[in-house]
Structure 1
Amino acid sequence: MARNLILSGGLYHDFQATSEALAAVLAEVGVESEITEDIPGALAEPSEYQLITVNALRWQMTGDRFADQRAQWAFRLPPQARTTLLDHLERGGGLLAMHSAAICFDDWQGWPRVLGGRWQWGRSHHPPLGWAGVRVGGDHPLVAGLRDFDLVDEVYSDLDVLPDVKPLATCGGHPVLWARPVRRGRVVYDALGHDTRSYDNEVHRTLLQRAALWLLKRPVQLRD
């Protein structure tokens, strides 16, 4: 079995539930996950995992609206943790980033270049949690042959996306899924996944399982 480290935790989301749901989805394709909320501790040494997943909301919280929570929740990613993530990719490892990962690690200028985009305060936004239609397209192994689908989610919109990113799925015209090589490894960002209802959708589950296999450089079974 491939080993996956899920970096979890933060505000406004039930990360314990979504991380467990994601772990169950990936277990179906032979990926064994370990979940931790100790992000600095987990990345304090070189990674022994084939896959690292960021399903968290940890950032500096510099805006006035977060003043009451900053003392408890404000976060900066230590230099060693950054090195561990970059070395993981340099060795050919995979990185799966879910939903609020686009907000994470905003003290690290290199994170958006790794991820392929970021949440831009004052521009990025999301409509209320509810039903959303996702359109998939292209011949990339993550989406080849899959149909469009509807799910209950919180759709991140108007992200600051790098020019070389090619969306594999959109919602309301906004990119919500992409895959890209970084160093010798691979990165997938999935802007969906606010709560467990997102992981109940069959097509979304298939996308995530394909993403894990692609990140691990394993054959992806193309099925609907």
Structure 2
Amino acid sequence: MVDALILTGTGRYSDPWHAYSETSPLLAELARAAGFSPRIETGADGALRRLDDGVRLLVINAGDPEGPDSVDPTGTRTPATEPEEPVASLAEGDAALASALDRGIGILAMHSAAASLRDYPSYERALGGRWVRGRSWHPDFGEAHVRLDPEHPLAAGLRDFAVDDERYTDLRLDAEIDRLASHEHDGLPYPLVWTRDLGRSRVVYDALGHDPRSYASAGHRELLARALRWLREV
């Protein structure tokens, strides 16, 4: 029985820069190794609307390059492009996600997921941080040194590691996070991976994962394996 959904970037959640069709199967492999039975979903909005009690893990591996970066005075985000689903259906999907967060679910958000699902306030609140156009950025793709926080329980016994990737930088942090990994640029530290406990639910955001080369790093794979096992405890 499927108990994990991987929302992969297609339609308005796709972009020219990220190979979601290549990275989502790699995430599915990691999820299976952690004990989940995953299914890759190409229609994120529809999958969220159909979210049921059997889903224990939700992986967001998608973007939203045309999405807005600010809310209107009522707190509602207005899509920059016409949504593929009716607004009422988006609201149903958000209600289903809010219900899942209340009952207990694990969420793993990868890389460009910091700029995705902007029509879902429940996701916005759960994630704890956002990519903001005009503020957030990343150094050129290349080898990066990832530093683990020795105080975080998921880092116990692990060493810092190298990875070929993009390092998202200057994300807007909206809530308290538990930093698991970071990188430095021009002598300043920036969070790369964080965790959050949300009542019965748990969230992991990983700013790495630009393309398959990221998953070739043994250190990154092990970090994701630990994150997925932690999420499985929900």
Shorter-chain TM band: 0.7 to 0.9
Asked if 1:106 corresponds to 2:111, the answer is no
Partner of residue 59, structure 2: 53
Partner residue of 1:169? 181
Segment of structure 1 superposing worse, 161-170 or 9-18: 161-170
Q: Which residue of 2 aligns with 1:37?
A: 42
Say if 1:60 and 1:74, in contact at 8 Å, map to a contact too: no
Q: CA deviation at 1:142?
A: 2.0
Cα gap change, 1:25 to 1:117, in 2 (>3 Å): same
Give the distance between the partners of 1:159 and 1:196, measured in 2 at CA.
23
- Cα 1:142–1:2 shift into 2, 3 Å: farther
CA distance in 2, matches of 1:46, 1:111: 13
8 A Cα contact 1:60 1:106, kept in partner:
no
Distance 1:121 1:74, change over 3 A: farther
Identity %: 41
Aligned to 1:201: 217
1:181 pairs with 2:190: no
Could you tell me how far 1:60 is from its partner in structure 2? 4.1
Matched position secondary structure for 1:120: coil
Q: CA deviation at 1:138?
A: 2.7
CA distance in 2, matches of 1:109, 1:167: 23
Distance of 1:87 and 1:182 partners within structure 2: 13
What residue in structure 1 maps to residue 6 of structure 2?
6
Query: RMSD in angstroms over aligned alpha carbons?
Result: 2.4
Distance 1:74 1:128 in 2: 32
Distance of aligned partners of 1:109 and 1:88 in 2 relative to their CA distance in 1, 3 Å threshold: closer
Q: Counterpart amino acid of 2:49?
A: A
Distance (whole Å) between structure 2 residues aligned to residue 43 and residue 2 of structure 1:
14
Deviates more, 1:151-160 or 1:73-82: 73-82
User: Unpaired runs of 5+ in structure 2?
Assistant: 70-79
Normalised by the length of structure 2, the TM-score is 0.82
Q: Is the 8 A contact 2:214 2:220 kept in 1?
A: yes
Q: Counterparts of 1:110 and 1:52 in 2: how far apart (Å)?
A: 13
Deviations 1:12-32 (A, max 9, x none): 211011000111122222222
Would the aligned equivalents of 1:89 and 1:95 in 2 still touch at CA under 8 Å?
no
Mapping of residues 80-159 of structure 1, within 5 Å: 80-159=92-171
SS at match of 1:57: coil
Give the Cα–Cα distance (whole angstroms) in 1 for the partners of residues 83 and 62 of structure 2.
12
Alpha-carbon separation, structure 2, partners of 1:33 and 1:193:
18
Paired residues, number: 212
Q: CA 1:52–1:163 in structure 2 vs 1: closer, same or farther (change >3 Å)?
A: closer
Shift of the alpha carbon at 1:190? 0.5
Name the residue aligned to 1:79.
91
Task: Give the alignment's TM-score, normalised by structure 1.
Answer: 0.86
Q: Deviations over 1:192-222 (max 9, x none)?
A: 000011111111111111111111117xxxx
